Structure formats: C-alpha cells, structure tokens
Amino acid sequence: MLNSIADGVYVHESEFIQSNSTVVQGRDGVLLIDPGITREEMENLAADLRDLRLPVVAGFSTHPDWDHVLWLASFGDVPRYGTAACAETMRNFLLSVDWTTHAAELLPPEYVDDIPTELLGLITGAPRHTTAVPWDGPEIRIIEHAAHAQGHAALLIEERRVLIAGDMLSDILMPFLDLEAADPIGDYFAALDLFDALTEDVDIVVPGHGSIGRGKQLAERIGQDREYLRAVRDHRTVNDSRVGPEAPLDWLPDVHNWQVHRLDSLAVGGSKRSNH
C-alpha cells in the first residue's frame, strides 16, 4: 500500500525490517527509490502505480546493498540511477562469475525464495559531481557521503521538504558502520553533520528501514546516532533502546556487539579513531 507523506511523495513499507520504498511524482511519471524486497510486494506496487496511471520513468538506489538494488520487469526498462561509486560496486559484483550464488548467500534464508534477483544491481551511475537526479520532476538533490557504505546517497526533495536517508537515521537500526573504511566513526560523524545542516529545510525523513520521522525527529535521530557513536568510540556502555534489552529487533543487540568488537580490533590494528 502506498502512503502519501507529502505532495506527490508516497512511501511503501515492506514487512522485511520495515524497508521503505519511496515514489516521487514527476511530470510524465514517477521516480522509484529503493524499489522494495519481495517479488509479491513489488508486483503489487507496480499494479498500484498502473492503476494510478503513474508509469515508472526512473529508479534510484541509495546504496549498493542488495536490499536497495532490486528491480522487477513490471516497473519497466528505465534508467536506474545511483552514485557513480554505487554503480561501480554493483558492476564489479555482477562481473564475478558466481554472483548468483553469492547473492543467494547474502539474502535472509526465510525470504530467499521471495526475492527476485534477476535484475539486481543494474545501476547507471549519475555523472560524478552531479548534484541532482537527472529526471523531469521536482529537483532531487543527491547528498553523497561515506558512513554506512561507499557511494551511499541521501536524497533531498527540497520543494517537498522531504529527506530520503537510505540506511541512515533509522529509529529501529543503530548506525551500521562501514568497517572497510579507514575511519568508520569519523565518516559517520561527518555524514551526520551534513544532515544536521539540513534540519531547517526538512520536515519529513524517510529512513531505509524504520518509521518515517516528522518535525523534530530528524534532529533527535541525529542526536541519538551521535550519542551511539560517542559511546562506542569512548568504550562506554551504549544506552540506546535500539540495541538494549527491549530492542524492537531482537537480533540487533548481537549485531551491535559484533560491530563494537570489529571496531576495537580495527583500532588495535592501527586505524585512526576520530574525535568529535
């Protein structure tokens, strides 16, 4: 089901860790951002858009993780954009001989039969230094940043005061750091600073997973994520409901502990840790 969140902006929420797909109405059709997870829900979304006479004219993937780069033939054969780095990561992935086996290993076992991978990752890179999605609709600014993944982009629809955050600013997931980066915590702080600079321009934040944040929630989520990062950086106990005993996702505290452990071993290995 498509929920209207702003003029010409709709969100569809998947049952798989509350993944949000966003639909933005343009002149001749819609831009589909992070299209969805299961074949059934994406077919339903395609049918809903057909009923509304809103053809998909382009796609956008916020980053090169499998749950953001799926696609269905029913959406049509249209350009599917991402950052240049996102497109390159996916191209390299698809060039590996056994990517279908590899993809199957990445997928959650309980969903593996429901997730269509035949069109996974066919992303066209927006030209480097491009600052807007190339389409005929309200201007959508591409805000690229390291933090969760290389080539990750948030999208700002300025006219609608909506920020589509990709895998950032979630109320149910703690920050998932890019542990391959030289300074994962520093990168994450830097991305939160970028979002902080937008708080006056944004009324609604759509995270890749979790609930839509309105009003002051953008600032609150930035604050919560900063506090998480400071606690991890300073080896303090993390006081965060997303990973505490009442965590809405019961597997998340384990992922959090694993992440802290990995960060500590990276630090021992000599990576610099940031101050903020």
Q: CB of 151: closest distance to Zn ion in angstroms?
A: 14
Closest by Cα among 172, 240, 156 to 205: 156
The whole-angstrom distance between residue 55's C-alpha and the CA centroid of its chain comes to 23
**Minimal distance in Å, beta carbon 205 to Zn ion?**
15
Answer for which of 13, 41, 167, 187 binds Zn ion (CB under 5 A) is 167
**Binding-residue total with Zn ion (CB under 5 A):** 3
Give CA–CA dist 26/56, Å, rounded.
10
Segment interacting with Zn ion (CB under 5 A) among 3-11, 51-59, 148-156, 205-213? 205-213
CA-to-CA distance for 140 and 125, rounded, in angstroms? Answer: 15
Single out the residue of 82, 138, 208, 213 in contact with Zn ion (rule: CB under 5 A).
Answer: 208
Closest distance to Zn ion from the beta carbon of 148 (Å): 8
CB nearer to Zn ion: give 66 or 195: 66
On whether the CB atoms of residues 137 and 24 are closer than 8 A, the answer is yes
Shortest Cβ 50–Zn ion spacing (Å) = 26
Which region, judged by CB under 5 A, interacts with Zn ion, from 54-62, 66-74, 142-150, 264-272? 66-74
| Strand partners for 143 | 154
Residue 69 or 266 having the CB closest to Zn ion: 69
Q: For Zn ion, give the closer residue by CB, 67 or 144.
A: 67
- Please report, to the nearest 10 degrees, the dihedral formed by the alpha carbons of residues 23, 160, 171, 167 taken in order: 60
Among 150, 35, 151, residue whose Cα is nearest residue 142: 151
**Residue 178 engages Zn ion in binding (rule: CB under 5 A):** no
Structure tokens at 114: 């429901």
Which token pair is 269?
A: 């290995």
| Residues from 36 through 55 that contact Zn ion (CB under 5 A) | none
Q: Does 67 bind Zn ion (CB under 5 A)?
A: yes
Give me the least distance between CB of 46 and Zn ion, in Å please.
21
* Contacts of Zn ion in 217-276 (CB under 5 A): none
In angstroms, what is the minimal distance from the CB of 66 to Zn ion?
Answer: 8
> Residue for token digits 């802290």?
260
13 vs 67 by CB, closer to Zn ion: 67
In whole angstroms, the minimum distance from the beta carbon of 268 to Zn ion comes to 29
Q: What CA–CA distance (Å, rounded) separates 106 from 172?
A: 21
**Which residue lies nearer to Zn ion by CB, 138 or 175?**
175
Own/partner pairs, 3-9, CB within 8 angstroms, 24+ separation: 5/162, 5/204, 5/206, 5/212, 6/157, 6/160, 6/161, 6/162, 6/203, 6/204, 7/160, 8/138, 8/160, 9/157, 9/160, 9/162
Comparison of 16 and 99: residue with beta carbon closer to Zn ion: 16
User: Which parts of this chain interact with Zn ion (CB under 5 A)?
Assistant: 67, 167, 208
